[in-house]
């Protein structure tokens, strides 16, 4: 399934006059509008290979039809998203859910769609049919050396796949922990995990990064061996300069101040990247920006300020990835919404009057500081995001075009109603 260039052009010309009106209105108030548009166009978000199918919970899964059946079809879907919004130019693979059998041809196919491979993800939270040891009681923390060895080897194998695909980072998320008091010696579990991570770290190519992802709970409900940003940072610091903390927005206890965590990690030079999603209760994996868009903006505000302070490149110096599960929405529609929400928050953060904010902070002018932040947050930046997309060759309204071109209907015709993508 392709959305042809002429379809995008027709869609855009129908909407152009309306767009121009809205764009001119906001552009008049943005001093460095060209620079903002360029930054927005450069900013790409990686799409996870595991979010292209319908997700589910332990109570059930309700497939929507036309889901990608192979890695090739997943790449095709990400290519389609990228064609519509010109903002999803990368794909993040989860192994072994998506093992590239012929890396060269997978890489070539991705390149045809303008995609590169972002972080590869290992999986030591599920047992695979062909593996000899079980992860029931953890992987790198396990008391049995054979289990730890298997988990280490798997991660090294994932790095190998990543190298073949041109990726340059691995995300390690461990579900290790314990469900009951007394089950685990925390200190020993930490040490064993650190030892395992060190072996994986030693296998990293010199230009690679390792992202250590933390999570407060689930599937373990009493303790997690990488349970919060402090623990992740401990590992990253002990591992060395190629190791970083990865922030998944859904992995905090309720009301955690994620923007402060982000600011401090950036300050330490140890923020590696993001898994974007949103949550109301826990690791809900809802569409980023759907529950708490203000928090997302505040995170981006810290990112822009902190990255600028360290002269970092917004587009390339951190890993920007989505990690979500779409249980009731069409996954592709959901991903279009996710990317849009991320770009809106980023655009709002770019509009913050940083100098005035710093001055307000120095003067303890609390009300002014709030006014400055909310002035940016309450600006409708959607025309800026749309303009960046238009200039890059995307659609003014990606979701609108996705629907009017009847993409899902076409995919169902091609792939069938009862297809199930690998993943969660």
The pair of three-digit structure tokens given for residue 411, joined into one six-digit string: 């995919």
Closest approach, Cβ 262 to ligand PSV, in A, equals 17
Q: Which is nearer to Mn ion, 109 or 256 (CB)?
A: 256
121 binds ligand PSV (CB under 6 A): yes
> Which residues, in sequence order, are bridge partners of residue 276?
322
Given ligand PSV, Mn ion, none, residue 214, with its beta carbon under 5 to 8 Å by kind, binds none
Closest approach, Cβ 251 to Mn ion, in A, equals 7
Closest approach, Cβ 423 to ligand PSV, in A, equals 8
Residues in 156-185 that interact with ligand PSV by CB under 6 A: 173
Closest approach, Cβ 57 to ligand PSV, in A, equals 13
- Rounded CA-CA distance 312/335 in Å is 27
> Which residues, in sequence order, are bridge partners of residue 178?
223
Secondary structure class of 245 (helix, strand, coil): strand
- Rounded CA-CA distance 102/94 in Å is 16
Please give the residue whose beta carbon sits closest to ligand PSV in the complex. 173
List C-alpha distances in Å: 186 to 8, 24, 176, 216, 234: 55, 58, 11, 15, 14
> Which residues, in sequence order, are bridge partners of residue 48?
92
The size of the interface with Mn ion (CB under 5 A), counted in residues, is: 3
Given Mn ion, ligand PSV, none, residue 215, with its beta carbon under 5 to 8 Å by kind, binds ligand PSV
- Choose which of 77, 98, 283, 302 interacts with ligand PSV (CB under 6 A): 283
Q: Is the peptide bond before 219 cis (omega within 30 degrees of 0)?
A: yes
Interacting residues of 338 by C-beta distance below 8 A, sequence separation 6+: 45, 276, 277, 287, 288, 289, 322, 324
424 binds ligand PSV (CB under 6 A): yes
Helix (H) or strand (E) holding 274: strand 271-276
340 binds Mn ion (CB under 5 A): no
248 binds ligand PSV (CB under 6 A): yes
Q: Which is nearer to ligand PSV, 220 or 397 (CB)?
A: 220
392 binds ligand PSV (CB under 6 A): no
Binding mask 206-245 for ligand PSV (x = CB under 6 A): -------x-x------------------------------
275 binds Mn ion (CB under 5 A): yes
Stretch that binds Mn ion, among 47-55, 240-248, 260-268, 369-377 (CB under 5 A): 240-248
Backbone phi, psi, residue 393, to 5° = 100, 10
Given ligand PSV, Mn ion, none, residue 424, with its beta carbon under 5 to 8 Å by kind, binds ligand PSV
Are residues 232 and 213 in contact, defined by beta-carbon separation less than 8 angstroms?
yes
340 binds ligand PSV (CB under 6 A): no
Q: Is the peptide bond before 96 cis (omega within 30 degrees of 0)?
A: yes
Residue with tokens 């060269």: 104
Stretch that binds Mn ion, among 117-125, 244-252, 381-389, 391-399 (CB under 5 A): 244-252
Given ligand PSV, Mn ion, none, residue 270, with its beta carbon under 5 to 8 Å by kind, binds none
285 binds Mn ion (CB under 5 A): no
Are residues 389 and 12 in contact, defined by beta-carbon separation less than 8 angstroms?
no
Q: Which is nearer to ligand PSV, 71 or 388 (CB)?
A: 71
- Choose which of 73, 248, 340, 387 interacts with Mn ion (CB under 5 A): 248
- Rounded CA-CA distance 63/275 in Å is 24
Residues in 25-64 that interact with ligand PSV by CB under 6 A: 50
The pair of three-digit structure tokens given for residue 94, joined into one six-digit string: 């989860």
Binding mask 314-333 for Mn ion (x = CB under 5 A): ---------x----------
List C-alpha distances in Å: 138 to 127, 132, 192, 226, 380: 11, 14, 11, 12, 46
Backbone phi, psi, residue 103, to 5° = -60, -40
Count CB-CB contacts under 10 A for residue 237. Answer: 13
Site residues for Mn ion per CB under 5 A: 248, 275, 323
Site residues for ligand PSV per CB under 6 A: 50, 121, 173, 213, 215, 248, 275, 283, 323, 424
């Amino acid at each position: 399934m392709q959305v042809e260039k002429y379809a995008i052009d027709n869609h855009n010309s129908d909407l152009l006059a309306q767009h121009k009106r809205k764009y001119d209105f906001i552009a008049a108030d943005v001093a460095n509008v060209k620079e903002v548009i360029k930054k927005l166009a450069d900013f790409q978000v990686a799409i996870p290979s595991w979010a292209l199918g319908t997700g589910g919970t332990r109570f059930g899964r309700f497939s929507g039809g036309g889901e990608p059946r192979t890695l090739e079809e997943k790449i095709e879907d990400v290519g389609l998203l990228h064609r519509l919004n010109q903002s999803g130019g990368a794909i993040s693979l989860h192994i072994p859910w998506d093992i590239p059998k012929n890396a060269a041809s997978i890489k070539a196919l991705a390149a045809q769609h303008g995609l590169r491979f972002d972080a590869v993800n290992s999986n030591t939270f599920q047992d695979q049919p062909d593996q000899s040891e079980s992860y029931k009681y953890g992987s790198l923390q396990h008391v049995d050396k054979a289990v730890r060895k298997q988990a280490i080897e798997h991660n090294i194998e994932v790095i190998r796949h990543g190298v073949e695909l041109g990726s340059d980072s691995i995300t390690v998320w461990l579900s290790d922990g314990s469900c009951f008091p007394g089950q685990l010696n925390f200190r020993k579990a930490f040490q064993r995990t650190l030892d395992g991570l060190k072996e994986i770290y030693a296998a990293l190519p010199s230009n690679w990064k390792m992202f250590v992802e933390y999570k407060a709970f689930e599937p373990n409900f009493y303790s997690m061996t990488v349970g919060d940003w402090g623990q992740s940072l401990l590992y990253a610091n002990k591992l060395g300069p190629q190791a970083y903390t990865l922030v998944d927005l859904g992995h905090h206890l309720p009301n955690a101040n994620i923007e402060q965590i982000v600011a401090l990690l950036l300050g330490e030079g140890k923020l590696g990247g993001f898994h974007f999603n949103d949550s109301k209760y826990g690791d809900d994996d809802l569409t980023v920006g759907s529950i708490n868009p203000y928090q997302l903006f505040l995170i981006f505000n810290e990112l822009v300020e902190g990255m600028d302070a360290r002269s970092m490149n917004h587009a390339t110096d951190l890993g920007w990835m989505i990690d979500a599960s779409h249980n009731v929405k069409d996954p592709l529609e959901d991903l279009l919404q996710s990317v849009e929400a991320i770009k809106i928050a980023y655009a709002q953060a770019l509009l913050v009057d940083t100098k005035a904010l710093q001055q307000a902070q120095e003067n303890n002018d609390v009300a002014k500081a709030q006014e400055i932040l909310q002035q940016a947050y309450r600006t409708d930046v959607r025309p800026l995001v749309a303009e960046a997309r238009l200039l890059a060759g995307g659609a003014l309204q990606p979701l609108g075009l996705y629907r009017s071109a009847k993409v899902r209907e076409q995919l169902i015709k091609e792939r069938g109603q009862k297809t199930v993508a690998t993943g969660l």
